[in-house]
Copies of this chain bind each other. A is one copy, B any other.
């Protein structure tokens, strides 16, 4: 007859594990000796090892009991199911590794390389860090909402940065938000350029980001984010409304031009 620690040692598990198996009814409680100690027969070692074989194979403890009693076909089906779950879990971890590799590859926010390129391009044309940070946050939101489509959109966004009007717009915005003064004339100028660009896009039938913009991620959120970062953005929004446009991240023509 064996004590619990001997049993555990033979089977290569901890005493605590054995007691746990008793608790959940996986391994039957043996008789106790006079002092209340559990006393095990050698056969218990075999039972315990069989349990561990299944547990090591990834079978949840809650299923092991049934599996040890099951007939061959039931057993095989259960095994297949467990294997499917293992495959899924492995796939999930592999996906995590890819994510982590992206993070390690310099970019701490897992933005697509195209977005990184876009932000770098902004810096190249003289856009201030503050404005770039605002753009970055916006693209973080966009990437979270449309992780796949963002990469498709970037080439045209990058191409647009060749437009001298757009470059001028970004530079003005940089100057405004780099300074602490409320330079309203600059804001008006920015609004004019923005309205002009919107007009061009509208007449050429170009609809910035496609139909996705309709309902799903309110572009209002992006605007609100910008306003929060710098309240002067609110003034810019107002100026745009005066010019017949609603929003900023996504411009929409107002139904009725305000009086």
Contact = CB atoms under 8 A, between A and B. Distances in A.
Interface stretch (A23-31, A46-54, A184-192, A240-248): A46-54
A225 B83 contact: no
A83 B101 CA distance: 8
A89 B53 CA distance: 18
Interface residues of A, number: 53
Given A141-B10, A144-B12, A225-B46, A54 B103 contact: yes
A82 interface: yes
A80 interface: yes
B93 A58 contact: yes
A58 B99 contact: yes
A228 B46 CA distance: 12
Interface stretch (A104-112, A117-125, A165-173, A250-258): A104-112
Nearest to A100: B57
A14 interface: no
B140 A103 contact: no
B83 A221 contact: no
Interface in A73-100: 75-76, 79-80, 82-83, 86-87, 89-90, 93-94, 96-97, 99-100
Contact of A45 (B45, B82, B221): B221
Closest 10 CB pairs of A and B: A58-B96, A57-B99, A42-B225, A57-B100, A42-B224, A49-B144, A79-B104, A53-B110, A46-B137, A90-B93
Given A41-B228, A58-B100, 17 more contacts: A10-B144, A10-B145, A10-B221, A43-B137, A46-B140, A46-B141, A53-B103, A54-B103, A57-B99, A57-B102, A58-B93, A58-B96, A58-B97, A75-B108, A86-B100, A89-B93, A90-B93
